[in-house]
Structure 1
Amino acid sequence: MAAIDADASPLMRWHERLGHLNVSAIKRMMDKGVVSGLDIPAHWFKKKFVCLSCLSAKKKRMSYKTSARHKRTTVNYERLMSDICDVGKYLPGLTGNRYFQLIQDEGSRYKWCFPLKSKDDANGNTLRLMSELIAQGHRIKTFSSDRGGEFLNTELKTFLALHG
């Protein structure tokens, strides 16, 4: 079986004109007379057909195994994540809040949003929320952040050491 020369093949030309349509679909279109002027000799369908564009587009990406430590938890309130966003000094809220803190539970995907006047207020929100969740009987195993200065303090470290 010989491979088809891309320049000399009417099948390749029609394959490209029809948006890289597969060969069996082109043959069906020709047999049913769907497209006028589509006359490809039968011997072209018997040859091995290779389109480099189609081959490269269908390549599989390399698989990356997810490590066990990055696996998403399914237990609610087991892992909390927090970040602080700056809405800018030019867009303060009506009450003068320049920042907001977003805390998300990884298990339920539930989110809490707290408006902040300064980043220093984030620590109090975090401690209050965690205290409420612990009082409701939830056990927080992990709290993660981007290691911003608002979360690197002894008060939060002491609280986390006592409760988890």
Structure 2
Amino acid sequence: MLHNVRMDNVHFYQGYDGKTQDNVRVGGVTLRVENNKSPHTEVALPFKNVLLMPSAPDNLLSMDKLEMEGWTVKFGFINSHRVCWLRKGHVELGLMKNNRRYRLKAMAVAVYTVPALRSVVQQPPSDSSVLVQRKPNDCTSLQRWHLRFAHLNLATLLRMAKNGAATGMGSGLYDDADSLCWTCKERKMTRMSSKQTVTRRATRSYQKLISDMCYVGVVTYNGYEHFQLVHDEASRYLWGFLLRRKQEATEVVMNISSGSLHKDTRLKCSILTKAMNFSTEP
């Protein structure tokens, strides 16, 4: 929980999305971290000038600020898991790598009670230390529910709000995002980099024929053991041919190619895996 929140009019900050910002709010936060050397004890770590970013999905630590405060960085492994060690004096923090980020398992010390995810706005510049509440809660914030439901698309969230599908969700959500959701943007860019193959389906009869040959399983009274199916993709019509030997499939293909099934259409034959694919030539 941030305390002593105030405007920082001196520094320029580069946010997690790469944008440079000024006139942002900063504050202090105290974390409780488990002390591995003394069981059932905790260490309180105070941090100053913590940047307030309500739209950020995670609480991020600035390596530049840590180095300026005297922290040293070391990387290593614990049971084949990558770990980042932060040291300052007799304090050593271990951050386990998970989902491409080094994460610190800690709890925030509540300096004063603040409702969860409550939005605030700045009063006029005459009194920069006073903050007033803009909304009583975040039940109608579209971006908050977007993050809570693991980046669920906004259209689905609006339908959920309309149908009352989630407890605590307001009936009318509004978009209060200051910037794009970069996690969703990155996934969309990754999908766009791989072009999908467009499968064209036949629209006219005899435009594309697909053939396959199968084993009957038993021998008929007149010696047939196999059958061949020819499928018209457009009309979904099927022809069946009984065969005594697999080698007779070539004769069936030749009959189709010569136009015995449809005299006004010439077929182009290409052999596929375990099947035969026929497409017409104009």
Query: What TM-score, normalized by structure 2, do the two folds share?
Result: 0.32
**Structure ranking higher in strand proportion:** 2
RCO comparison, higher one (Cα < 8 Å, 6+): 1
Write 1 or 2 for the structure with the bigger share of helix.
1
Q: Which has the larger radius of gyration?
A: 2
